[in-house]
Structure 1
Amino acid sequence: MRVILALVLVLVIGCLGRPVLAQGSWSFVALGDMPYQDRDIPDMETLFDAINAEKPRFSVHVGDTKASHTACGEAWNKRVQTWFAQFQAPLIYTPGDNEWTDCHRANPPSDPNEELKLLRRMFFQRPDSLGARPMPLERQSNAYPENQAWRTDGIRFGTLHVVGSFNNMRRDRAEYAARNDANLSWLRQLFSSARGDRALVLFMQADLWYTIDNGKGSRDGMDDLMKLLEEETRRFQKPVLLVHGDSHECVIQPAAPGFGPDAAPIPNLLRVEVPGDSIVDALKITVSQDAAQPFSIKPVMGVARNCAPKKK
């Protein structure tokens, strides 16, 4: 309990004011779910400038580079590539549902599986990240190059291609089943490779806590991953940070709820959801040498004013 209370205090300080950085501290930035409207693009580009001014070690975009109704395809992806090139530090990207799963209902509609192939070809064929100064990345396989990993300062980082819209399970069970198996294998591998590290950080697009937060909805396409995530995190014992998007609300939740019937807190799991949609902001995550909880979080622009530690 004392560890949890101390964590909440650290996060409050990180959100409400600029923390005094301990020696050896550094930062990265997480963002996603933007732009959803053309009118938000100027604010988004201003955000990119603010991110560059923070000089993070790297940034991670957790998917949904557009609204679901916006046309998918090569022209849009090239526009996104131009935006990503504005990041002076390395930029790592994991796809959202709006870039492919939901393209059958975009205007005009297109084939989701073809859009997924296009995403992999345009964003994930290089051996390194995006951004003006790329860094080397590990990739799970040629079939799933979007599942990426890297290590910095004794911390293991990895992305998982898990998206909203039921993780594509309801629309295409064959595609879902193959990618779900790959995700489960990659998650096990990330935890295994992090055994000698002091923490593990995961990024995905989907909000695994949507049903818990809202008391409604379905877990279709998520159950296997939820179960494995909880099992591996409890077994790992060291800090695990999971950063996601999808629901557009800025959330910082230490000891995040588990996914069993009682939703018992997972003491070493810190859940962070990036703001999105009309809230054009990102989260700066400062990493310290604190063994119990090395992460403190605050908005980059201060637009996400409701970003505060969330109770169970």
Structure 2
Amino acid sequence: MKTSVFFLFVVVASTILSSCTSEENASFNFMAIGDVPYHLPEDFERFDRMIAQINKDKPAFTLHVGDIKSGHIPCSDEYYEKIKGYFDSFDEALIYTPGDNEWTDCDRESCGSYVPEERLDKLRQLFFSNDFSQGGRPIELLRQNKTEGFEKFAENSTWQKSDVTFGTLHVIGSNNNFDSGKGALNDEFYERELANNFWLISLFEAAKKNNSNGLVLVLHAGLNYNNKDENNGHASFVTLLRQQVQDYDKPVLLLYGDHHRFMVNQPMRDNNGKTLTNFTAVQVFGDNDIHAVKINVSPDNTNLFSIDPFYIKGN
């Protein structure tokens, strides 16, 4: 079994290398947003304003780290299709990874009393049904569902931009949909955990094989880097992430949402308590604060990434 899993890692990394051609090693910038829109209907106007100002700035692409609604808005097909329309109004590509509010919370009465896994299937059908991102100029993505054994996980993707490897991972808030209650089965969690951990290793392997200048990881959850409790739905992912970061000597940038407060920090430490200086986590704005984060990527920058708030006038 170990041999076959290692073989799959090599296959995925090689596929990423051959499918995502690198551009000239040049500077570029992109935007990151998430946890919007939440407050309806007023946030639709604010979201429109955000999109217009991002389009005016002309980033290479925009990332939405998840939560396209609050945990109390109905999880209807009509709402998802409306958000897809907003995503396609970005002039350039919009790459999206799901949050928890758009599927794990959908069993709430205020959300329509849906079966969460059915809503996740709907998201996959609507946003991840082909090999391209959303947005006015969609980019081609390599999706995990091209890998044998992970055909379900189209939302996990990767692409290459100017000698930087990017990847999305479906790791979410609400304890990653892990139910710590007695007798809970957690079938969905364990299946997605296996897929995410496999994809995480594949992304690091691809970055090494591509000789990338760095790696950008995109997910929703605000991770707890210190809690190894068996009831922590992020524990195995964080353990694996720490191992991979320590084995990679170039910058790693993690973009996430979940807690709705812009923050840049270096939260990961090694076994001796020293900060892993090649790892930076950036939490995007969200909820009442409908702003973006602008990331400039420059090979001339020792740290590769420069991170700045991008405030939306009127929001």
Question: Structure 2 length normalisation: TM-score?
Answer: 0.83
Determine helix, strand or coil for the equivalent of 1:116.
Answer: helix
CA contact (8 A) 2:249 2:278 kept: yes
User: What is the aligned counterpart of 2:295 among 285, 298, 305?
Assistant: 285
Q: Which residue of 1 aligns with 2:57?
A: 54
Residue 291 of structure 1: how far off its partner (Å)? 5.5
CA contact (8 A) 1:237 1:268 kept: yes
Aligned ranges for residues 189-200 of structure 1 at < 5 Å? 189-195=202-208, 196-200=211-215
Determine helix, strand or coil for the equivalent of 1:157.
Answer: strand
Indicate the RMSD between aligned Cα atoms, in angstroms.
2.3
User: What is the aligned counterpart of 1:188 among 171, 188, 201?
Assistant: 201
Residue 25 of structure 1: how far off its partner (Å)? 2.4
CA contact (8 A) 2:49 2:312 kept: no
For residues 129 and 289 of structure 2, the distance between their equivalents in structure 1, rounded to whole angstroms, comes to 31
Residue 256 of structure 1: how far off its partner (Å)? 2.6
For residues 312 and 85 of structure 2, the distance between their equivalents in structure 1, rounded to whole angstroms, comes to 25
CA contact (8 A) 1:60 1:93 kept: yes
Could you report, residue by residue, the CA deviation over 1:69-105 in whole angstroms, capped at 9, with x for unpaired residues?
1110211110111110110000100000000011111
Number of residue pairs matched? 277
For residues 261 and 114 of structure 2, the distance between their equivalents in structure 1, rounded to whole angstroms, comes to 29
Residue 218 of structure 1: how far off its partner (Å)? 9.0
Most deviating of 68-77 and 87-96: 68-77
Q: Which residue of 2 aligns with 1:256?
A: 267
Query: Kindly, what percent of the aligned residue pairs are identical?
Result: 37
Aligned ranges for residues 92-107 of structure 1 at < 5 Å? 92-107=95-110
Could you report, residue by residue, the CA deviation over 1:28-54 in whole angstroms, capped at 9, with x for unpaired residues?
000000111012221121011011011
Consecutive aligned runs of 4 or more in structure 1 exceeding 6 Å deviation: none
For residues 41 and 125 of structure 1, the distance between their equivalents in structure 2, rounded to whole angstroms, comes to 25
Q: Which residue of 1 aligns with 2:143?
A: 139
- CA 84–218 in structure 1, closer or farther in 2 if over 3 Å, else same: farther
For residues 30 and 172 of structure 1, the distance between their equivalents in structure 2, rounded to whole angstroms, comes to 34
Residue 290 of structure 1: how far off its partner (Å)? 2.7
- CA 106–233 in structure 1, closer or farther in 2 if over 3 Å, else same: farther
- CA 27–63 in structure 1, closer or farther in 2 if over 3 Å, else same: same
Residue 292 of structure 1: how far off its partner (Å)? 2.6
Determine helix, strand or coil for the equivalent of 2:32.
Answer: strand
For residues 270 and 122 of structure 2, the distance between their equivalents in structure 1, rounded to whole angstroms, comes to 34
Structure 2 residue 39 is the aligned partner of structure 1 residue 37: yes
CA contact (8 A) 1:156 1:199 kept: yes
Determine helix, strand or coil for the equivalent of 2:277.
Answer: coil
Q: Which residue of 2 aligns with 1:19?
A: none
For residues 269 and 109 of structure 2, the distance between their equivalents in structure 1, rounded to whole angstroms, comes to 34
- CA 116–265 in structure 1, closer or farther in 2 if over 3 Å, else same: same
CA contact (8 A) 1:256 1:267 kept: no
For residues 263 and 74 of structure 1, the distance between their equivalents in structure 2, rounded to whole angstroms, comes to 47
User: What is the aligned counterpart of 1:87 among 72, 85, 90?
Assistant: 90
Most deviating of 97-106 and 220-229: 97-106
Q: Which residue of 1 aligns with 2:284?
A: 274
For residues 207 and 111 of structure 1, the distance between their equivalents in structure 2, rounded to whole angstroms, comes to 24
Q: Which residue of 1 aligns with 2:167?
A: 158
- CA 173–263 in structure 1, closer or farther in 2 if over 3 Å, else same: farther
Q: Which residue of 1 aligns with 2:219?
A: 204
AA aligned to 2:118 is E
Could you tell me which runs of 5 or more consecutive residues in structure 2 were left unpaired when the two chains were aligned: 1-24, 146-150
- CA 125–235 in structure 1, closer or farther in 2 if over 3 Å, else same: same
CA contact (8 A) 1:28 1:56 kept: yes
Question: Structure 1 length normalisation: TM-score?
Answer: 0.84
User: What is the aligned counterpart of 1:66 among 66, 69, 72?
Assistant: 69
Most deviating of 165-174 and 144-153: 165-174
- CA 27–103 in structure 1, closer or farther in 2 if over 3 Å, else same: same
User: What is the aligned counterpart of 1:27 among 26, 29, 41?
Assistant: 29
For residues 73 and 120 of structure 1, the distance between their equivalents in structure 2, rounded to whole angstroms, comes to 14
Q: Which residue of 2 aligns with 1:224?
A: 236
